[in-house]
Amino acid sequence: MSGGNAIRGTRVGAGPMGESERGESAPRRRVSYWCANGHESRPSFAVDADVPENWDCPRCGLPAGRDEQTPPAPPRNEPYKTHLAYVKERRSDADGEAILEEALAKLRRQREVP
């Protein structure tokens, strides 16, 4: 029961594909990064590529640096803030009272109109 599909069961990249068909791969180098938990990761980069100073640790997700003795500090997690907390950072209580009075006055004017 052939459906006439000659490429049935194959996928992109499948098959006997060697260096002669793909071309030569770029020369690579491995660079070591260490996180605050002591995990080492060794991603590879092209020899002529710029190597980043920090890399995310694939095991724990912390930032990792190239100096094993002084890895980057873990990011500081700020507690969740509500919308009201952000508003209170920007406005004083007096500002809030003034805005409230302005909004109430506007509502009162709208109700007075017949």
Binding residues for Zn(2+), by number, are: 35, 39, 57, 60
**Is-contact 15 7, C-beta < 8 A?**
no
What whole-number distance in Å separates Cα of residue 80 and Cα of residue 78? 6
* 55 backbone dihedrals φ, ψ, rounded to 5°: -145, 140
The candidate with the shortest Cα–Cα distance to 109, out of 69, 101, 68, 31, is 101
**Which segments are annotated as binding site?**
35, 39, 57, 60
